[in-house]
Amino acid sequence: MPKEITKELLRQVEITASVYESPGKYSEHDMADRYNCSVQSIRRDFVKIRSEGVSIHSSKGKLYIENKIKLNKLNQLISLYLALNENDLIRNLGPITRKYGNKTLSIFVKIIKAINEKRKLSIEYGITSYGDPIKRVVTPIGFNKVAHTFNLIALENDVQDNVKFFLFERIISVKFNKEKSSLKVFPNLYDIYRFSWSNYTGIKESSNVELLFDKKHKKYLKDKIFVQEQEVIDVPEGILLKLKVKISFEFISWVMGWGGDVKVIKPSKLKKDILEKSNSILRLYS
């Protein structure tokens, strides 16, 4: 991307951040002085910012954003800023490039274009019992960056409720189709992840969880954001952590990792799952 375009996009995100944090503090001239550019350039930035759904405007010489920025838009702005600053690199890109060679960048670009244009992909992913690749037709709806790699988020067979996650490096082949999705409404990625502990696991229902921790973990728990809906409460017996979360194997393992410093208060199914997992470990080593 040309440096000038990157510079403008970064400036637009930074202006949005400053005005949203401090409405009525800055003027157009303040922004022009800050970025060493003309007022006309700043006004062009405002046009671009408004085109992205952020209602920035000037009143009595000062800048304001009228409405609260929606969470989805906030997520997009933060993700854009991280990407443009080049400090959020793909740590596992080496194995991916060894697999796709000079096609690596092209594959990423074409998948993003397929997402934007709502076009289907034909992929080979997974192996049958006979050792043959499994052919699938999917409608890509997004990328999810996890730890060292990416998940391709897609709807298998163009079915709205059939959300699947495909590890990028395990995709055997990709073919880009001209056929567009027949769907008019697509799942919202925010809703898909809303109550997930970490990676999406296909679990649809969330649970109200209560965990009682030893008091020595008070500071850690109070400072930590685990999920969107959580509450940390001091009780006589210790520290009560209340969460709304989808109970996955990953979440169960996290709870078990605290050993005797945590007790599951509810739900009973979580207690049962932990007991079963613990007993299977004990049987293995007894």
Separation between Cα atoms, residue 71 and residue 41, nearest integer Å: 27
Contacts of 209 (CB under 8 A, 6+ apart): 242, 243, 244, 245, 247, 264, 266, 267, 270
CATH code reported for the domain at 207-285: 3.30.70
Q: What is the pLDDT of residues 19-61, one digit of tens each?
A: 999 999 999 999 999 999 999 999 999 999 999 999 999 999 9
User: Which tokens is 253 given?
Assistant: 């393992």
pLDDT of residue 1: 47
**Which H or E run includes 133?**
strand 133-146
Q: What is the pLDDT of residues 252-276, one digit of tens each?
A: 999 999 999 999 999 999 999 999 9
Separation between Cα atoms, residue 65 and residue 286, nearest integer Å: 64
Q: What is the pLDDT of residues 129-153, one digit of tens each?
A: 999 999 999 999 988 777 667 788 9
pTM exceeds 0.85, yes or no: no
Domain boundaries, the chain: 3-84, 93-185, 207-285
Q: How far is CA 107 from the centre of its chain?
A: 21
Separation between Cα atoms, residue 190 and residue 203, nearest integer Å: 15
Of 8, 19, 73, the residue nearest 41 (C-alpha): 8
pLDDT of residue 89: 65
Of 54, 29, 13, 72, the residue nearest 192 (C-alpha): 72
Of 99, 90, 93, the residue nearest 170 (C-alpha): 99
Are domains 3-84 and 93-185 of this chain identical in fold?
no
Check if CATH label 3.40.50.620 holds for domain 3-84: no
Residue 6, classified by CB atoms within 10 Å of its CB into exposed (0-12), middle (13-18) or buried (19+), is middle
Helix (H, G, I), strand (E, B) or coil at 23: coil
The share of the chain scoring above pLDDT 90, in percent, equals 55
Say if CB 182 and CB 230 are below 8 A apart. Answer: no
Helix (H, G, I), strand (E, B) or coil at 219: helix
Domain 93-185 belongs to what architecture?
A: Roll (2.30)
Contacts of 193 (CB under 8 A, 6+ apart): 144, 200
